[in-house]
Chains A and B, each alone.
Chain A
Amino acid sequence: MSGPIHIQPGETFILNVGPQHPATHGVLRVKMEMDGEYIVKAETVLGYIHRMHELMGENRTYPQVLPNLSRLDYLGALGYTHGHVLAVERASGIEVPERAEYIRVITVELNRVASHLFWFGAFVMDLGGFTPLMYAIEDREYILDMLEAVTGSRLTYCYYRFGGLYNDIDDEFIDRARAFIPRMRKSLKKYDALVTGNIIFRKRLEGIGPISAEMCRKYGATGPVARGSGINFDVRKNEPYSVYPEFDFDVPVYDECDSLARYYVRMEEMEQSLRIIEQGLDKLPEGPIMPKKKPKLIKPPVGDYYQAVETARGSFGIRIVSDGTKNAYRFKLRSPTYSNMSLFDEACEGMMIMDALALMGSLDLVIPEIDR
């Protein structure tokens, strides 16, 4: 459903969706000018959970900032810390042992699956179906337990170190990861049977919330949002980092541009992540997890470094402007949801509020990551 037919001036009202609203999954506020059920104009208001991580990045040494990164996005935290260690390693030229790289990829992909699982549950809950969330959380819990055993925390990981890892994985982790793959594949089939074929679910998403490829480009949307609009863009493939070139995986792309396409992309990405984990476990080389030669104090040479990684939500970028000291001179975080969310104002104009909230759910918002 789209487009109010006639809007009488003075007949609209302002509806504040948020900052405390069940659909915004956090403290996000969207000021909507409504004509009955239709949205005439929307303005997103941010900053309710702004913590100025960029300034913290300037005030702390590089290792001290490391835990901050996982506070950006509490659902896919490893991807963000991965970006940071990669950026600093690039800047200071630290070599990473191969085993550490493989473990990083395995854990990042596990975390991606966990993040997508939670999104899946929360998204269907946005549409009014509560049950899939419980199923998704059950599977996610398995991953969190697994990661907790090796990283020491459940959500806000600080597992990667410059040059390697804090902790090596053990046989138990490998066994559990191996057991997880068939279990998750079975679950994915179950979700498909439970949710994807549901007529109400499909009617609510098909053709709803169109985001064109051109719009993605103008707003800088990345990740599953862009891939749902027919853009074959995945930083893991386009600008390969870490050991991703050694893995065989596909990037799911759908041309429909609607909310259902974004749903399909994420669901298929989980399967691809499982493939990566499977290969990673097979190929996992022996060796150290920290480099032999590593500077005691991280002091990247003067320069301006950029590192992009593909997190669960899209292309996350870190810009480090170094002045040669142990603190960054400028520490810029380019968060994917920030760009993805910025197109919401334009995309939801003329939609009905329930469709707009379905669109919002399909963007996979994590508010601390938008506000930083």
Chain B
Amino acid sequence: MIKDTVLQSLRGLFPDPEPVVEEIVTEAAEGDEAEGEKKKPAKKKKEPRNNGVIEHDYAQYGYDIDVQLDPGELLAAVMIIDKAGFFLESVTGVDWIKEEQLEVVYDFSRYDFDTCRVVIRTRTPRAKPKVPTISKIYPGANWHERETHDFFGIKFDGHPHLVPLLLPEDADFHPLLKDFKP
């Protein structure tokens, strides 16, 4: 199963994996029950999720592995994913305005029947959002990152051509930021 191998390698990225995994596993277990789930959001709202790997129930969330890491480790994680033969579904952002953070979400999936969807998230401060580009590894990320830059203003370090793609050429606004006023 590709899922286990990828999990293994992704966990290797975190220097102190044990406590993180343990915490996450309980969280995921809680998530299965309706009551436990209500508690989890309350927790999530207050403080951002810790970095780490979560195994998710596909039937409930639509993906299997959920990784959150620092922008610095992003390239290493994406390289693991690339080597395992995943394809890039999309790159997008989420504006967590209350936590003063922007999240960049990378979706990966597989072509073969060893189905495994991987979501990689990384967070960057809202005031100066900056994430390394993965367009060197996945050329297809070029457009997705430009789009994310359009919508959220996240700078992708090393991107070859970071100009507006969907917005007008002279757009200086980022419509998907929660404080965007049209």
Contacts and interface: CB of A to CB of B under 8 A. Distances in A.
The reply to whether A and B meet directly (CB within 8 Å) is yes
Interface of A: 46-47, 50, 52, 54-55, 58, 87, 90, 216-222, 226, 231-233, 237-239, 301-308, 315, 317, 319, 321, 323-324, 329-330, 332, 334, 338-339, 342-343, 346, 371-372
B173 to A, nearest CB: 11
A339 B88 CA distance: 9
Contacts of A334: 89-90, 92, 107
A220 B90 contact: yes
Given A239-B115, A301-B38, A217 B94 contact: no
B175 A346 contact: no
A252 to B, nearest CB: 15
Chain A contact surface mostly: mixed
A305 B89 CA distance: 15
Q: What band does the interface of chain B fall in when counting residues whose beta carbon is under 8 Å from A?
A: 35 or more
Given A218-B138, A319-B105, A305 B41 contact: no
A90 B107 CA distance: 18
A216 B87 CA distance: 8
Contacts of A90: 59-62
Contact of B90 (A226, A232, A317): A317
Interface stretch (B15-23, B122-130, B163-171): B163-171
Given A238-B113, A302-B37, A317-B89, 16 more contacts: A47-B164, A47-B165, A52-B175, A87-B62, A217-B87, A219-B138, A220-B90, A232-B112, A302-B40, A302-B41, A306-B119, A319-B90, A319-B105, A319-B107, A323-B45, A330-B92
B63 A217 contact: no
Interface stretch (B6-14, B69-77, B139-147): B139-147
20 contacts: A46-B143, A47-B165, A50-B166, A54-B176, A90-B61, A216-B111, A217-B111, A218-B87, A220-B88, A221-B140, A232-B112, A238-B110, A238-B112, A239-B58, A301-B37, A308-B109, A308-B117, A317-B89, A319-B105, A342-B143
Nearest to A227: B111
Contacts of B139: 218-219, 346
Given A305-B61, A319-B107, A338 B143 contact: yes
Interface in B50-106: 58-63, 66, 85-90, 92, 94-95, 105
A162 to B, nearest CB: 16
A50 B90 contact: no
A324 B165 CA distance: 32
B151 interface: yes
